[in-house]
């Protein structure tokens, strides 16, 4: 776990912690999935917000935000092709998780118990 119970004990009373990775199992030791209808719970006076699919509360807005964030990359890939972009853009290369049917990201490979082929 990225955030352990010991780390949580250092937080102020009434602090709020949000586990944005709860959809993938969470990164906080005391996390458990919640819903939009019942989104929070307390553990040792720390308020936890662990709603799976947080963007689902505002689907139109979240779709617009995601589109605006990803469209420049989609255009880049469409105009230059993936092989050229991977050679020219270190950030996109680092963000790559799979390529040609192989896992290229160590963290993804480890989480799936599969080999990482490198990118």
CA distance 72 to 78: 10
- Residue 118 is predicted with a pLDDT of 67
- Residue 62 is predicted with a pLDDT of 96
- Residue 52 is predicted with a pLDDT of 93
Q: Which two tokens stand for residue 113?
A: 């118990």
Answer whether 0.75 is exceeded by the pTM. Answer: no
- Residue 111 is predicted with a pLDDT of 85
CA distance 103 to 101: 7
Tell me the pLDDT of the chain (119 aa) as tens digits. 899 999 999 999 999 999 999 998 999 999 999 999 999 999 999 999 999 999 999 999 999 999 999 999 999 999 999 999 999 999 999 999 999 999 999 988 998 899 998 64
């Amino acid at each position: 776990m990225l955030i352990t119970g010991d780390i949580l004990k250092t937080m102020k009373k009434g602090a709020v912690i949000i586990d944005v990775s709860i959809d993938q199992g969470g990164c906080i030791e005391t996390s458990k999935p919640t819903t939009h209808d019942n989104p929070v719970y307390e553990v040792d006076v720390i308020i936890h917000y662990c709603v799976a699919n947080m963007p689902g509360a505002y689907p139109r807005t979240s779709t617009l935000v995601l589109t605006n964030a990803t469209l420049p990359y989609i255009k880049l890939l469409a105009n230059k092709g993936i092989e050229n972009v991977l050679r020219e853009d270190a950030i996109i290369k680092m963000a790559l998780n799979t390529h040609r049917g192989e896992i290229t990201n160590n963290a993804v490979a480890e989480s799936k118990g599969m080999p990482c082929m490198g990118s």
